[in-house]
Structures are given as structure tokens and as C-alpha cells.
Chains A and B, each alone.
Chain A
């Protein structure tokens, strides 16, 4: 629809405008330069999101008021609510923040974006900002050509600001010149009719430009030139606020259900705010007059009054909606339901991997981490069932001897079927998504982290395959009349059950020292239970306590069990050592060495 109808109409209208009016050309080029500046500014800020911005976002959104404050401050600083929206959707999609925090940020961003109107109204129109634009552009371009990513980022920000200033200058000039040719203010429409018409124009302009900021600057410059009436400018500002939700909606299309809920919350918030503003327009205008009077703002200074209006009606929206955030979240969760992860034939799907998280390296890595944990949950279940154990019993405090007697099924569990349904698809998605994420601009540290996550997924898959190889003999010999072979396989099953319990504790505990000790315990037991190296197997063969066939099976299966131990231990080290925690920083230094393990085993003997 857009490509076939709307876009050609817009292009034809623009071409006609350029042909018929040079002033229109100047205003349009001002808007285009301004939008280009916004893109450049966003690009610049994005190059810093690999570190500072996302760290702040992660740490400063644990409370609702902090989320709102984050939205206000970040949008005021970056002058782009779109970037903050995309960042929020991306982090929400990766599960790094919750829906209510995301909504808080979006509410804050709505208020933060009003600072743009203040800046343009207070300084943009009074100072010759084009004079500042040129040096900014020159310095910006010099920085963009540098190798360092940070300098490039600074370059994009400077260039972005330069273009923003230049765009405002052209819009201002265009409207000034336009005034002498045509007086647009004669088209002003009063009353509620005008309010609705201009509000719709505001919505349309913002949807087309995908920037409420650009619409607002256009309104302010037109208002300053006297081309639109004050009342109609207010209606346009209300419309711009509604139109801006289109950015979040487009961003959420590629996101998961949480991103879609956030976009819906954004739309609801801006619609409610717009309805309030329309219903109480005259009361709000009165309030604007009071505030303007308080700050000694001249009666004719409509541009600053528009900025006050914009701030007041967004503040009212936040005040009205904040107490209902939990109800809003509940409504959205009920109205927008996620696709079921496991479908009717039992095939499991990915939960966190979607294109929206690819916007930022941190959210991409967090999403892959969460998906790998999802893979672990499924793998844990398959391995437990493969050993004929109940998953819930392993995760409980019940004595392992009792857990081993409590069989999961009387029948053979088909690991291959489980693998096809619950692992293969997710594993494939993780690998292909990681390749996509790696093609983004990532730091060497991010790439190393991504590599470890891929290895963790592979370890899980291989542990399942080893369990599959082991399963047949484990069941066969666990009840075999030969007491020696039966003992070995029972021990093997017990050791694997203990391993699963330890890994589950590592996955669920918050105590870092416990994680460290359990990882070491698993490493120690991996060596201790290796009967090919501890002499048990030799002893059984030498004394002819087991047949040659049994010996071969036991030797092979010991290798499978050893591999399961090693792989699950390596996986747990990557997935469950808390990111940013103390253990993450020093785990390698405190690692128990092979010599330490040998020393402990020697003592035991």
C-alpha cells in the first residue's frame, strides 16, 4: 500500500511543490537536512551504546520512577525519542528489562522529547545557528574519517547537530520568504473542527517523516513566521505526539511479544494524552498563560508558549497514566498473547531471538544467552529422561538413592525424537542468529563472548548425543545378573544424576562461592569417576569379573559419561557464572588446576 500508493503520491506532491514554489523547496530541503541530521545523530549515539548507554539502562531501571527518569534524561540528551524507543524495544525483546520498566522509559521519553521544542523555541530561532552548523559539519566529517570507533561516534554526533542546525535555518528562511508570497495563516480553522483537522495533519506529517521532533520544529518555525495560528499549532503538536508512535510500532514488528506490547502501550499512552489535551484544551491554554506569566514570557511569544503547552500536556499524560501502569501491563498481557513455544506436535521454538535485539550488541548477546538457557532447560529434561530419571526429583532435595529408584518411564525414552522436537530447531536458530549478530559491529570482547555461547550450545547438543549412546547399555546392565557390571553401570547412573543435580544448583543459585565450589566439584568428580584411568576397569578385566563384550561396552560408555561431565561443566561455566559478578571477573584465576585435582584424589586414595 505504502510503496504502491502513498509514496508515489508524496513524491509527485513534492515535485509539484518544488516546481511551483522555491520557498517550498527551501522549507522541504530544511526538513530533509534536519531528518538527515537526526539519522546521523542516532548513528553517533548508537556507537556508544555498546557500553555506557546500555549499562545505564540495565542498572537504572529497577524502579518505575528510575525508568521514567531514564527516559526523560536520555531523550533530552540525545534529542531522539525514536532511538530511546528502539533501544527499549531491543532490551525488552532480549528480556533485559520488564514490560513495566519499558513503559516507564517510553513515558519518560515522551516528556524528554519536549526539551527539543524548548531548545528550538528559545535559541534555535533567535540565534543564527547556521553559523555554528558549518564548523560542526567540518569537524564532524574530520572525526568520521578517523579509525577509532569513539571518534567516529563523536563525528556522527557533531555532523548530526550541524545538519539539525542547518535544517532549522533553512526551514526558518523558507517560512520567512514564504510569508511575503502567501499567507498560510488565512487557512487557519478555529474551534474543535480546526483542532481535529490540524491534529490529523500533525499525525500524517509525523508518520511520513517518522520524527515528531522534525514536525515540531516545522510547527515552531511556521508559528514564528506567523504562517499558522497558535491554536492550530497546538493541534499539530498533539497530532505529532500521536504520529510518533509509528516508530515504536515499526520497531516492534520485528520484535517478540514484549516489544509489541510496549508499542501498544506507547500508542495507548499517546492517544489518552491526546484525548485529554483535546478535551481540556482551553484549560491547558489557560495553564500555559499562567506559566508564561510566571516566567515573564511575552504575550506574543507563541513559540515558547507552544513549548510550555507541549511539556504540560505530556506531563499531564504521565501523571494520569502512571498510577495505572500495572493495570495497563495486565491488559496488554491479556490482549496480546505470545505464540505458544511448544506447538501441538511438541516442537519447541525459540523464545528470545528476534530481529529487534540485533539493534544493539548487548541486547543481541543477552538474547542469545537467554535462548541458550532455554536450550539447556530442554537438554536437562532430555538427559534426565534418557537416564530414566524424573527431572523434578533431580532438582529436589530427595536423596539420590531414592531418585534413582523412582523411574521416569517403564518404556525406552526416545532421545532422538526428543532431540528432533526440542533441540534441533532451537540449536539451529542460535547458530544462525549468532552469525547474524556477529556481522554487526561488535567489539572483540563481544565476539569472544558470542563464541563461548556457541560452544555452550554445542556442548549441550553433544551431551545429549552422548546420553543417547549411553542409554541402551545403561538400561541393559543396570539390572544385569552380573553383579560387577551392574555395580559399574549403577554407579555411572548415580554419578550422572549427581552431576545433573549439581548443574541444576549452579543454574539456580545466587551464591557465587557455591557456584565456584560446585564447578570444582564437578571437575574433580569427572576425574574421580573415570574408571579407565583409576584402574577399576583394568582390575575387572584382569580378574575376569566381566566378559570381553561387557568390558568393551563399559570402556566406551565410560568415555560417553566422561564427555557428558566435561561438556555440562563447560556449559555451566559459560551460562551460569553471573555476568558482571565477582566470580565472572576472577573465575579463571581461582580455577582449580589439574595438579590440585590430582593432589585431592591422591589424598582420597
Chain B
């Protein structure tokens, strides 16, 4: 039996999650948290901003944040299932 296969078997039998996967989940959660905070900030700024150009830029940023949060959540769920 190869060393890699042996290690994988041990990980499977002991149900130890790989460090890489764990690290990825943690990173995703951290980034999602930062993005959510930023969304709150952008929405607050949008409420008070009057300059049309800045409003357009803030709306664009909010849109991008939403897409990133959506993508991040999808990936997180995928990782949780695997």
C-alpha cells in the first residue's frame, strides 16, 4: 500500500478533516464577515450621499459585494457538504 493511500485511509477512518479544507472554510468565513461589514457601511453611505457619481459608484460596489457574498456562501455550503 502506498504511503499516501495509507495516510488517506487513516484520515478517513479517524474522520479527521484535512487541514487544507478547514483552512479554506475559515478563510471563506472571515472574508464573508468582512464583506458583510463593508455592505453595511456602503448602504449607510448610500443613504446620506447626494453626489450622483458617488451614488453610482456606491451602488456598483454594493452590487459587487452581493455577488461575492453569494459566491462565497455557495462555496462554503459546498465545502460543508464534502
Identify the A interface with B (CB < 8 A).
Answer: 148, 511-514, 516-517, 520-521, 524, 582-583, 585-586, 589-593, 596, 599-600, 603
Shortest 4 CB-CB contacts between residues of A and residues of B: A582-B27, A513-B34, A585-B27, A589-B75
A517 contacts B64, C-beta separation under 8 Å:
yes
**Residue B71 lies at the interface, judged by CB distance under 8 Å to chain A:** yes
Q: Is the CB of A517 within 8 A of B68?
A: yes
Q: Which residues of B contact A582 (CB under 8 A)?
A: 26-28, 30-31
Residue B46 at the A interface, CB < 8 A? no
Nearest Cβ on chain B to A45's Cβ, whole angstroms = 22
Residues of B contacting A524 in the complex (Cβ-Cβ under 8 angstroms): 60, 64
11 A-B Cβ contacts within 8 A? A512-B31, A516-B31, A517-B38, A517-B61, A582-B26, A582-B30, A586-B27, A589-B71, A589-B72, A589-B75, A592-B64
Residues of B49-82 at the interface with A, using a CB-CB cut-off of 8 Å, are 60-61, 63-65, 67-68, 71-72, 75
Of B26, B30, B63, the residue contacting A603 (CB under 8 A) is B63
A-B contact count (CB 8 A): 66
B residues within 8 Å of A by Cβ?
Answer: 3, 23-24, 26-28, 30-31, 34-35, 38, 60-61, 63-65, 67-68, 71-72, 75
Are A596 and B67 closer than 8 Å at their CB atoms? yes
Contacting pair A600 B72 (CB below 8 A): no
- C-alpha gap A591/B75 in the complex (Å): 11
B75 near A513: Cβ-Cβ < 8 Å: no
**In contact, B38 and A586 (Cβ under 8 angstroms):** no
Cβ–Cβ contact B68 & A512, under 8 A = no
A586→B35 CA distance, assembly (Å):
13
Q: How far is the CB of B26 from chain A (nearest CB, A)?
A: 8
Q: Which of A520, A591, A592 is most buried by chain B, counting CB atoms within 10 A of its CB?
A: A520
Q: Which residue of B lies closest to A604 (CB)?
A: B60
State whether A592 and B71 are in contact (beta carbons under 8 Å apart), knowing that A517-B38, A585-B23, A586-B31 are contacts in the complex. Answer: yes
Contact partners of A520 in chain B: CB under 8 A: 64, 67-68
Q: Which of B24, B34, B63 contacts A585 (CB 8 A)?
A: B24
Q: Could you tell me the distance between the alpha carbons of A330 and B35 in the complex, rounded to whole angstroms?
A: 43
- Selected contact of A586 from candidates B3, B61, B64, B75, CB within 8 Å: B75
A residues less than 8 Å from B71 (CB atoms): 589-593, 596
Known interface pairs A516-B31, A589-B71, A592-B71; A600-B64 also in contact (CB < 8 Å): yes
Indicate if the CB atoms of B3 and A148 lie closer than 8 Å: yes
Most chain A beta-carbon contacts within 10 A, residue among B3, B31, B34, B63:
B31
Interface centre among A148, A520, A524, A586 (most CB of B within 10 A): A586
* Bound Cα distance from A599 to B68, whole angstroms: 13
What chain A residues lie within 8 Å of B3 (beta carbons)? 148
CA distance A583 to B3 in the complex (A): 32
Contact B24 A586 (CB under 8 A): yes
Given the complex, which residues of B lie within 8 Å of A583, measured CB to CB?
27, 31
In angstroms, Cα B27 to Cα A309, docked, is 50
Query: Taking A516-B31, A582-B30 as contacts, is the C-beta distance between A590 and B64 under 8 angstroms?
Result: no
